[in-house]
Every structure is written in C-alpha cells, then in structure tokens.
C-alpha cells in the first residue's frame, strides 16, 4: 500500500508486493487497498463474526465485539491523523510502515477467533426456537411428570419414567454446558446455580434412587411409632423442598416468555405505549443493557422471595398428627398384646386375639375404604372417609423358621372370620366398618405367604395381602406383597409395646395403602406448581411493569431516539415533529365522532366526578410531568436544535462525535466532496429596513425566512446559512456510484431549484404578512411609496467540500468551494441586470428542454470565482403583478393541531415532488403565470436578435434591437438596458479583442443600474436618441 495526500488515503500496492497468508472474512471480499480506510471501516461489520453466520437477533454485544469496535475507531483516528498531514517527514519509510500497520489492525478486527465461533454456535443452539420449545416441554414434564406418574400409573411403569428422567437430566446438563460456553455472565451466575440445583434434584426422582432411599426404614431396628412418624414427616418435608427447588425451572419458562415478548417488541420496533409514528424514525425496540440487567435482577429477587416462602413457611408450623396417637398405632399394639396372650387352638384367648386382629383389619377396611359407605345405614363415618387403608398383615423377624412358626400361630380361622363378617354386616354404629368383598373374604383365613423384598435381605416377612386376587371394578392392580406398591404409596406400622429383643426376634407389620392420599397430594402438587408458576411469572411481571412504565420504557425510548439521532442527525427534526403530533393527538378533543347524546353523557360524567371530589374533600392535584418525560423531550429538543443549527452540512460532525464511546468532542472532522446546486437569496434594501425597524427586524427576517425555508424544503433543498439579509441554499446530490443516475438526479435538482426560486419570489409578494410592510411610514419615507419586500436570487451548480469550519472554540457547518462564491456573485449580478433571478449555464444546461425554454440568455460574462466564462440566464418575473392574498388574514395564528396538519401535508407534497414534471408545475402556478403575463414571443425574439448581434460585435445593430426591447414591457427591461449601458462605455463600437464576454469583476463592486430617477432620465435620453 502507498500513502498519498488527498481524499483517498490508501492506494493499491504494486502487484509484486507480498501479501499475508490469511484472507479476510466472507463479508469483506474487497481488497483493503481498493478503497480508502474510511470506506473500508464503514463497510466493516459491527460484529466480529462473518455476516453469513450472524443471527437475526442476538443479545448485547460481547466484550470482543466492543474491543473490535475500539480497534476500528483507533484505525479511523490513525488514518485521519495521517491524511491530514500531521507527519510529513520521511514519507517513504513512514508510509509503508503506516500501511502495513493499518492493514494488520484491520485484519485483526475482522478475523474472528475460534473461541468466539464456538461461543456463537453454542449460543445459537441454546437460543434456537426448536431447542427452546423442546426444553420448555421437558421443563413442564419434570414439574408435572412425578405427579402424573402417581395419578395415572402403578409401580411397573416406574422404569419408563426413570429413563425419561435420565434423558431430561442429560438434556438439561447439555443445555447448562452450552449456555456456560455461549452466554456471557451465565457460568457461576444466579441462573447457572438454579439450573444446576434443579437438574441435580431430578436424580431424586429416579425410581431406583427414590425406592432405595424410602426403603431404608423397612430394615431399620425397632423405633417408636412417633419417631417413625416424625421421620416420615421429615421425609415428606424434604420431598416438598426438593419439589420446590425444582420449581426454579419455571424461571426458564418466565425467561422464554419475557424474551419472546421483547423479540416481538423488537420486531415491531416499538416499546409498549410508544407511538407508532415514531417507529420509522427511532428504529427498533431492542432490549437495552439497562433493561436486561433490571429484568435479571427483578427475576432473581422474585424467585428467591417465592422459593424462600415456599421452603421456610412450612417448617415454621407444627404438624397436626403429633397431637394424639392414631388408630393404626394403637390397634397394632392391641393386636400384639392379644397375640401374646393367645394360647392357640380353641382357647378363649385365641378367639380374643383373632377378634382383635379382625377389628383392626375391618376398622381400616380396604374394600369399604375404596367404595362408599354402606347404604341404608345411619352411620356418619366409615373407612371411606379416610385416604389410607390396610392391605397387608404379616409377621417379620430375623429368621425364617421363627417367622414361619409365629405366622402359623397368627393365622385366622374360617369360622371366626365368617362369624365376624356376619356380625359386621348387621351393625349400625356411628362408625361403620363396612363389608368386605365376598371374593376377598377367603384371603383372611388363607395360609400366610412369604414375601421377601428384592432390596432387603436382613428380615423375613410372611403374611397375607387383601389385594392378592383380581376383583373386576375393585382390585385392578394386584399387590400380593407389600413391596408391590411404591415406597411412597405404602406406610408401615408395627407394635411398639415390646422390648427391643422381642422386636428383633419377631413382630407384626401392618402396611397401609396410601395411593388415594398420594393421588390427592399429586393433584395438590400440580395446583401448587401452577400457582407458583403464576406467582413467579406474574409477580415478576407485575413488579417489573411499574419499573417498565415509569423508568425502563422511557429510558429505552430515549436510547432509541439517541441511537436514531446518532445514525442520522437530520432525523431529529422528524422525531420532534412526531412527538409533537403525538402530544397534539392526545390533547385534541375527539368531538367529530361523538354524537349529541355522547357529548351530554360525557358532560354528565364530568359533573359527577367533580361532585365526588367535592364530597370527598379531594383537591385535584396538578399533573406534573415525570422527570423521564422531561428528559426525553429535552433530548428531542437538543437533537432538533443540533439538526437545525448544523443542517445537512453538519450531520457528519454530529454523527461522528456521537458514534464514539468517549466523552470528548472532535470537531475537526474531514470534509466530503459532493455535487450540489448552490443558491443565494438576498433581501433588498436590508440596511434601510434594519435602520427603520430596529429590534423588530428580527421578526421581519424570520417572516421572510419562513417562506424561503419552506419552499426550499418542499423542493428537496436545505438552508445552510442565514446571514441577516442573505440565505445560502443548497440542493445536495446524494452519493451514487452510477454516473448516469447521478446526472439524472442532479438534473432533477436543478429543475426543482429553478422552480423553487420562482415560487419564493411569488410567495414573498403574495404573503399578507409581508404586505403589511408596504404601508410602513418609515419604509415609505426612506424607500418610496411603492416599496415592496423583495428578494434577488442566484443559482449555480458544481462541487463543494461539506464539513466543519472553525476551531475548538467555535465551528460552523458550511460548504467551501469556488462555486459557492460564483453563486453569490451570480446573485449580486441581478442588480446589474435588474432581474429577480439569475442562473448560470451550469444549472440551465442540466435542466430539461422545457425548463430551458422558460429562461432567457442575458449575457456571457467573466465572474469572480469561475475559471471559465459563464452564460447567465434569467427568468422574466414581473413581481409587481402579484398582489397580496387578501383571503388570508395576517393576524390569524395557527393552533398546534393545525400547524401539525400543515406540516404533514407539506411533507406529503414534498415526497410527491420528485415524481412530478417541473415544467407542468411551472406553467400551472398562478403566481408565476401572473408574473410572466407580459412576456411575449415578439419580445423574446427581438432580444434574442439584439443579444446575438451584441455577442458577434455588431453593436450598432444590437443597440437598435435592445433599445426597442427596453420599452416593450411595462417596466424597463433590465438585461436590455444593462447591455446598452455596457456598450455605451465604448461608444457602441466593439473593442478589437471582443470575444462576446462581458467582464463583471469591476461592475459587481458598483451600484448596478442606479436609482429609479437615474433610470428614468437615461430611458428618456434613449427614447430621444431613437426619435
């Protein structure tokens, strides 16, 4: 690369220059030396990744991206400093060093690292819609799967749920791993810990783990029933804590809902409550870093608060079952004591034992407990009023022989069972035992069978199960042994009225079926999960909503507006107009769509509200605007003032200083070369007007400026400078690489500028506001009774450097070019030719043939600032033919709503202007037609012949034609008389070196045609000589 002075800082290197081995990313296929550093940096993607893999929506920029942007800014500053000529010594060596350094830095910025690619891929996978939907389904499953398993299935289905649980653990573990790699601030963060804890809690739901933990008490030594109940309660509380911890997976659901909500808001490009008119100006409604941080903190606090309450509050309450012993405890002791006293055979003590055991079995009757209470009985209670019933009775001991011997002794006799069943059927007590199914009754006197748990080998159990035979509609699932039910679905009770030695030798075991109770718990668990979901998500949203409405959304609105102004400072004015329109629409009464009845109803409601405030002694408070609203309006106003103050020429200054993260201001921004049409307008007799009006001259200038600025803006121009009596107007040709398209745009701008100046002159003389100055006594005294506010205008087309001029103390956005001086001199030439508007051939030559026919060639001149002679063209406009518009009162002031509607209408007209034919608009404009009514074909033809003879050196012939055209119009024709005066200096004989070029260098410093009295005298002399 070779560094040279000028606009392009970097040029292509020779072909034999060695290149680096690494290529640029896919998004930057152009060579670094093919364009300037400024263009290369502008085309550089903001992300360090290639555009081909950039996701449609992504979170806040990473540190690596920010670091890349800082490097880009550093390269920009280095290249700007170098091209500004701040180090001209040793150009040969320093240029090569600078080039290599810049190319290397650019390559480092553009080349993504392998780790960033891996992190991006991990984040892309985790945030993909399919993955989010899949993990959401798994989250709902792990929250409800255990309860659904208990409600819908029995123990044989546990392995299936176990394998599903293992799959969930694997998926969640992979998600945690990918999130730790791809997401910032996730690893070892709050949500990382929640995900790890909730995923680890899933291990406790695996059937092999839960069965092993809950079966330990099966082989435990003798403990009291109270202590065993306390252990069960602790286990139940632990299960609830584990279930609550797992509820943190709901945070995933909340985050998914919240992020999808923000994604929809970003896709629409607006925040809740914002006006849709601002969408196009303020850009997208992406979540800010402030909003993301605030949402995370709010979510954390809500989760911690809700989980703390769910975990701690149950631990602070006493359990109700510790008040008194239960029937299961007491009945087990009674059966054991009766068995100890039984002598076997037909002894009364044996009968007492069997009766006691049957009472225990029937009191907790499984069959009547799973059906309704007996019909026709007056008893208010039965076993169905409870959710736990006895299903297995047996003897447990250390050795099989002892247990088998005691089981034979504990076996019930058929006669006793049948007698007891008959007596129970006839009872009508307050607590009715209920009947047992006839098919199940033989189980009571059948032989006791051996049950050895696969997970336990330290004890032997022999007994009977009431669920060992199938009974359609009653027993659908067989449980011949106690372990055929899940550990959570059964409860063991054993006698406590014995010594430890007796317990270790042998004892009774009573197992209760808790499936109805566990199902009830499962239903309540599902309801609790749904409630916690609502609380976690709803409470977070409710807490967050106030912060959103009062702080976050206004702040994000301000951020979006600042971002829009930073990207395009000229949008600030449009943002301000949209904000103003929003305020007007809120304040404007919507009376048009209301009927008379609606108006009366609204009036009645207003009176009722007022009466309520009076009766309640409620004083209506003044609604002061929020500080965020004030700050937002201040930002909009500052942006508008910047845009209005700097204009299009200063847009680059504002944008370049707002893009950086530094708080410093760099006003020395390099300018840009652009093609444009430069216009210059001047208020005539301004010094006299200033002397007469004094302080009111500011109002006068602003009234003229409102017309000038409005017409120029309508025709896609802009105002650059307002210097009291003069206005510098520009029509910028937007950058376009296609030269043909560029010329087409420039041609359209030239036509619109010519038409705009004609419109300005007509609007100034038609304005009822400016017409009031015609009768001002001071102005009539100084300038005559026929004084009118009038403007002279000039236009030229060429190039200019757009940028900032000044120092760090004061800068001004301007256009520097000889063409600007040419435009000013063209306007000053209007005083020589006594016309309202002059345009150079650079403007007229780009206009269409129809628009060129509206102009008149008045002279070919040398003008200061131009290297070549220029042809000057005028548009003949008799401004005295335009009267003030009396239909509009100058004292009428538009209200805010009317002004807003007018701006909207003008904006619509402006958007349609480029598609319209300027010649047709020129011919159909009433003011322009009135000002050109006296222009005839004869006049134009005579002047054309006179000018042709003047240009060819036949001045005597030219004199006769031009003296005739001087008198053909109502007023003196300025161009004709200006040429006559110029020829008069040479006694109407062309100089020997005459080439048809009039030098205006000295004439522009004179007084033009002189006073009206001098013009009349000169005209009389001209008529006399002609006579």
- Within 10 angstroms of residue 531's Cβ, the number of other Cβ atoms is 13
Strands (DSSP E) found in 80-164: none
Task: Tell me 384's DSSP state.
Answer: G
Using one digit for the tens of pLDDT, what is the confidence trace for 888-923?
655 555 555 666 667 777 777 777 777 888 899 999
Nearest to 213 by CA among 192, 234, 243, 184: 234
Query: How many residues does the structure list for the chain?
Result: 1027
Q: Are 372 and 384 in contact (CB under 8 A)?
A: yes
The token pair that represents 72 in the structure block: 């880009």
Using one digit for the tens of pLDDT, what is the confidence trace for 392-433?
999 998 888 888 888 888 889 888 888 888 888 777 777 888
CA angle centred on 924, ends 918 and 925, rounded to 5°: 90
Percent of the residues in the chain that have a pLDDT greater than 70, as a whole number? 66
Q: Are 703 and 763 in contact (CB under 8 A)?
A: no
* Dist. CA 166–CA 175, nearest whole Å: 14
Q: Can you tell me whether residue 512 is helix, strand or coil?
A: strand
Q: Are 711 and 793 in contact (CB under 8 A)?
A: no
* Dist. CA 435–CA 439, nearest whole Å: 11
pLDDT of residue 266: 54
pLDDT of residue 250: 61
Percent of the residues in the chain that have a pLDDT greater than 90, as a whole number? 19
- For residue 516, is pLDDT > 60? yes
Q: What is the torsion angle, in degrees rounded to the nearest 10, for the CA atoms of residue 556, residue 561, residue 566 and residue 569?
A: 180
Greater pLDDT, 720 or 294: 720
The rounded mean pLDDT for the chain is 74
Q: Are 874 and 840 in contact (CB under 8 A)?
A: no
* Dist. CA 182–CA 175, nearest whole Å: 10
* Dist. CA 223–CA 214, nearest whole Å: 16
Greater pLDDT, 892 or 610: 610
Report, in angstroms and rounded to the nearest whole number, the Rg of the chain calculated over CA atoms. Answer: 49
What is the pairing mode between strands 449-451 and 837-840?
unpaired
Most confident of 226-235, 367-376, 512-521, 896-905: 512-521
* Dist. CA 822–CA 1000, nearest whole Å: 12
- Within 10 angstroms of residue 136's Cβ, the number of other Cβ atoms is 15
- Within 10 angstroms of residue 988's Cβ, the number of other Cβ atoms is 13
Strands (DSSP E) found in 718-852: 718-723, 726-732, 791-806, 811-816, 837-840
Most confident of 240-244, 567-571, 907-911, 943-947: 943-947
Q: Are 180 and 187 in contact (CB under 8 A)?
A: yes
- For residue 742, is pLDDT > 50? yes
* Dist. CA 823–CA 722, nearest whole Å: 15
As a whole number of Å, the end-to-end CA separation of the chain is 77
- Angstrom CA distances, 200 to 146, 168, 206, stand at 15, 11, 11
What's the mean pLDDT in 684-707? 92
Q: Are 815 and 678 in contact (CB under 8 A)?
A: yes
Burial class of residue 690 (count of CB atoms within 10 Å of its CB; 0-12, 13-18, 19+)? middle
* Dist. CA 439–CA 469, nearest whole Å: 8
Using one digit for the tens of pLDDT, what is the confidence trace for 131-148?
888 888 888 888 888 888
pLDDT of residue 704: 93
pLDDT of residue 645: 67
Task: Tell me 283's DSSP state.
Answer: -
pLDDT of residue 324: 72
Task: Tell me 887's DSSP state.
Answer: T
Using one digit for the tens of pLDDT, what is the confidence trace for 746-777?
999 999 999 999 999 999 999 999 998 988 89
pLDDT of residue 65: 42
pLDDT of residue 899: 65
State which H helix or E strand residue 511 sits in: strand 506-513
Using one digit for the tens of pLDDT, what is the confidence trace for 660-672?
666 666 666 777 8
* Dist. CA 880–CA 883, nearest whole Å: 7
Using one digit for the tens of pLDDT, what is the confidence trace for 6-45?
333 333 444 443 433 333 333 333 333 333 333 333 333 3
* Dist. CA 34–CA 13, nearest whole Å: 9
Contacts of 788 (CB under 8 A, 6+ apart): 765, 774, 879, 880
DSSP assignment of 296-332, as one string? HHHHHHHHHHHHHHHHHHHHTS--GGGSS--HHHHHH
- For residue 283, is pLDDT > 70? no
- For residue 650, is pLDDT > 90? no
- Angstrom CA distances, 50 to 29, 56, 109, 110, stand at 11, 13, 12, 8
* Dist. CA 908–CA 914, nearest whole Å: 12
What's the mean pLDDT in 462-488? 89
What's the mean pLDDT in 294-322? 71
Q: Are 75 and 39 in contact (CB under 8 A)?
A: no
Phi-psi region of 189 (alpha: psi -120 to 50; beta: other; left: phi over 0): beta
**Its pTM surpasses 0.75:** no
pLDDT of residue 296: 73
Q: Are 761 and 931 in contact (CB under 8 A)?
A: yes
Using one digit for the tens of pLDDT, what is the confidence trace for 422-466?
888 777 777 888 888 888 889 998 999 988 776 665 678 999 999
């Amino acid at each position: 690369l070779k560094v040279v002075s000028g606009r392009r800082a970097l040029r292509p290197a020779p072909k034999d220059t060695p290149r680096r081995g690494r290529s640029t990313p896919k998004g930057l296929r152009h060579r670094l030396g093919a364009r300037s550093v400024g263009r290369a940096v502008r085309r550089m993607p903001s992300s360090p990744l290639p555009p081909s893999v950039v996701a449609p929506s992504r979170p806040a920029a990473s540190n690596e991206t920010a670091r890349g942007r800082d490097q880009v800014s550093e390269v920009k500053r280095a290249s700007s400093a170098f091209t500004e000529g701040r180090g001209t010594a040793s150009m040969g060596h320093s240029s090569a060093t600078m080039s290599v350094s810049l190319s290397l830095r650019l390559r480092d910025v553009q080349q993504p690292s392998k780790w960033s690619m891996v992190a991006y891929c991990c984040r892309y996978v985790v945030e993909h819609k399919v993955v989010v939907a899949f993990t959401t389904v798994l989250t709902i499953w792990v929250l409800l799967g255990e309860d659904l398993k208990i409600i819908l299935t029995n123990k044989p289905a546990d392995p299936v749920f176990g394998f599903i649980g293992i799959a969930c653990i694997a998926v969640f573990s992979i998600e945690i791993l990918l999130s730790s790699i791809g997401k910032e601030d996730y690893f070892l963060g709050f949500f990382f810990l929640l995900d790890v804890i909730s995923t680890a809690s899933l291990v406790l739901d695996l059937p092999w783990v839960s069965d092993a933990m809950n079966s330990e008490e099966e082989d435990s030594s003798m403990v009291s029933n109270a202590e065993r109940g306390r252990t069960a309660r602790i286990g139940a509380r632990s299960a609830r804590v584990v279930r609550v911890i797992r509820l943190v997976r709901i945070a995933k659901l909340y985050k998914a809902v919240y992020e999808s909500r923000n994604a929809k808001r970003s896709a629409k490009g607006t925040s809740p409550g914002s006006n849709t008119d601002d969408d196009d100006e303020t850009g997208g409604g992406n979540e800010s870093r402030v909003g993301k941080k605030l949402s995370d903190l709010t979510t954390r606090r809500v989760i911690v608060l809700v989980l703390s309450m769910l975990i701690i509050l149950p631990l602070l309450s006493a359990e109700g079952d510790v008040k008194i012993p239960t029937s299961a405890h007491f009945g087990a002791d009674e059966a054991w004591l009766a068995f100890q006293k039984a002598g076997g055979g037909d002894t009364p003590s044996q009968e007492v034992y069997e009766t006691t055991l049957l009472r225990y079995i029937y009191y907790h009757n499984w069959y009547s407990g799973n059906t309704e209470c007996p019909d026709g009985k007056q008893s208010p209670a039965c076993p169905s009023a409870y959710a736990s019933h006895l299903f297995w009775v047996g003897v447990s001991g250390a050795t099989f022989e002892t247990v088998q011997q005691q089981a034979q002794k504990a076996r019930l006799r058929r006669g006793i069972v049948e007698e007891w069943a008959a007596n129970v059927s006839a009872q009508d007590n307050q607590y009715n035992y209920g009947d047992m199914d006839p098919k199940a009754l033989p189980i009571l006197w059948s032989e006791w069978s051996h049950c050895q748990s696969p997970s336990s080998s330290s004890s032997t159990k022999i007994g009977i199960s009431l669920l060992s035979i199938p009974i359609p509609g009653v027993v659908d699932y067989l449980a011949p042994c106690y372990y055929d039910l899940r550990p959570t679905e059964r409860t063991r009770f054993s006698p406590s009225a014995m010594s430890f030695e007796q317990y270790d030798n042998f004892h009774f075991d009573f197992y209760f079926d808790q499936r109805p109770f566990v199902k009830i718990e499962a239903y309540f668990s599902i309801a609790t999960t749904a409630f916690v979901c609502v609380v976690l998500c709803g409470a977070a949203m409710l807490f967050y909503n106030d912060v959103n409405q009062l702080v976050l959304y206004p702040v994000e609105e301000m951020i979006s507006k600042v971002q829009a102004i930073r990207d395009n400072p000229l949008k600030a004015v449009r943002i301000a107009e949209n904000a103003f329109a929003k305020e007007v629409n809120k304040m404007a009464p919507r009376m048009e769509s209301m009927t008379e009845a609606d108006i009366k109803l609204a009036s009645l409601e207003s009176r009722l509200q007022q009466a309520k405030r009076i009766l309640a002694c409620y004083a209506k408070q003044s609604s002061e605007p929020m500080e965020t609203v004030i700050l937002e309006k201040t930002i909009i106003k500052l942006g508008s003032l910047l845009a209005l103050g700097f204009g299009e020429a200063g847009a680059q200054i504002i944008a370049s200083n707002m893009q950086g993260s530094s708080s410093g201001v760099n006003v020395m921004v390099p300018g840009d070369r652009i093609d444009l049409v430069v216009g210059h307008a001047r208020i005539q007799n301004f010094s006299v007007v200033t002397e007469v009006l004094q302080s009111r001259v500011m109002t006068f200038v602003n009234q003229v400026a409102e017309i000038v600025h409005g017409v120029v803006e309508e025709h896609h121009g802009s105002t650059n400078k307002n210097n009291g009596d003069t206005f510098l107007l520009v029509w910028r040709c937007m950058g376009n690489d296609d030269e043909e398209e560029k010329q087409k745009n420039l041609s359209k701008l030239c036509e619109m500028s010519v038409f705009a100046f004609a419109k300005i002159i007509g609007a100034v003389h038609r304005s009822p506001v400016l017409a009031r100055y015609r009768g001002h006594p001071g102005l009539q005294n100084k300038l005559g009774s026929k004084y009118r506010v009038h403007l002279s205008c000039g236009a030229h087309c060429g190039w200019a450097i757009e940028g900032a001029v000044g120092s760090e103390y004061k800068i001004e956005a301007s256009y520097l070019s000889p063409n600007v001086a040419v435009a000013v001199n063209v306007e000053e030439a209007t005083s020589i030719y006594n016309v309202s508007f002059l345009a150079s051939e650079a403007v007229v030559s780009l206009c269409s043939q129809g628009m060129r026919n509206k102009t008149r060639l008045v002279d070919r001149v040398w003008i200061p600032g131009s290297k070549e002679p220029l042809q000057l063209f005028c548009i003949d406009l008799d401004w005295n033919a335009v009267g003030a518009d009396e239909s509009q009162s100058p004292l009428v002031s538009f209200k805010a709503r009317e002004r807003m509607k007018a701006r909207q209408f003008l904006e619509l007209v402006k958007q349609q202007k480029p598609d319209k034919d300027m010649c047709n608009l020129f011919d159909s404009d009433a003011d322009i037609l009135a000002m050109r009514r006296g222009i005839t074909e004869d006049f134009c033809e005579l002047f054309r012949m006179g000018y042709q003879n003047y240009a060819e050196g036949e001045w005597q012939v030219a004199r006769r034609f031009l003296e005739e055209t001087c008198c053909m119009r109502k007023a003196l024709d300025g161009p004709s008389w200006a040429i006559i005066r110029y020829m008069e200096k040479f006694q109407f004989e062309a100089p020997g070196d005459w080439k048809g070029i009039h030098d205006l260098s000295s004439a522009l410093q004179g007084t033009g045609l002189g006073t009206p009295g001098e013009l009349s005298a000169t005209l009389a002399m001209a008529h006399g000589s002609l006579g």
